[in-house]
Amino acid sequence: MFHTSSNTLAPVNPPVAVYPHMVRNVPVTLTLREKAWSLSGDDFSIKDASNNQSVLKVKGKTMSIHDRKYMYDAQGKMLYNMADKMIAIHKTIVCEGEHGKEILTVKNKWSTGSKLKGAFLDHEDKERTIELRGDMFGTSANITLSDGTNLAHISRKVITVADMAADKQTYHVTVAPGVDPSLIAAVCVCFDEIENEEDK
């Protein structure tokens, strides 16, 4: 059973991070907007739900052939350069760091089992596998390591009339203590992009 209440996310130790300076020792809940990043050129903030402060910013490159997007921290430092991999059987998104190093790859139907999986290099260059357990567009889901360690919990916000008019919803992602929120946010953007591509 995939459901895990967000307030029961245990601290992860040793930390799981691409950018250790982003890690917090308490849970953090991020607010994300579904489908916002599916439109080329759309810029938006990923916010801390507790205070509505911007934690990360995503900028889309208009008319990019690779559907390229960039994720920055609150100080404007580029963390992830995200783009479609053109030569791939299934939709694949590759994320590079600030120096052009490939640090995260997410693809649809990567292997048997969970539908959405990814591989990333942590800050010690150790390759890890991450996956979605549950339905990202349903009521809730978990993001875990391949060994089952819970990293984050996704929960849906009740849709509003304004959301329906804008063809979007809001969902919250609670990140466990000891886990890099930027990694989880990047994974969510990739997962959402793949799901929306499949819907098309």
pTM of the model: 0.84
Query: For residue range 13-64, what is the model confidence (pLDDT) as tens digits?
Result: 999 999 999 999 999 999 987 655 444 446 788 999 999 999 999 887 654 5
Count the neighbouring beta carbons within 10 Å of the beta carbon of residue 110. Answer: 18
Domain 25-199 of CATH type 2.40.160.200: yes
The answer to whether 116 and 129 are in contact (CB under 8 A) is: no
Residue 130 phi/psi, 5-degree rounding, is -125, 145
| Nearest Cα residue to 90 out of 111, 104, 70 | 111
Query: For residue range 115-132, what is the model confidence (pLDDT) as tens digits?
Result: 678 899 999 999 999 988
Residue type, 48: D
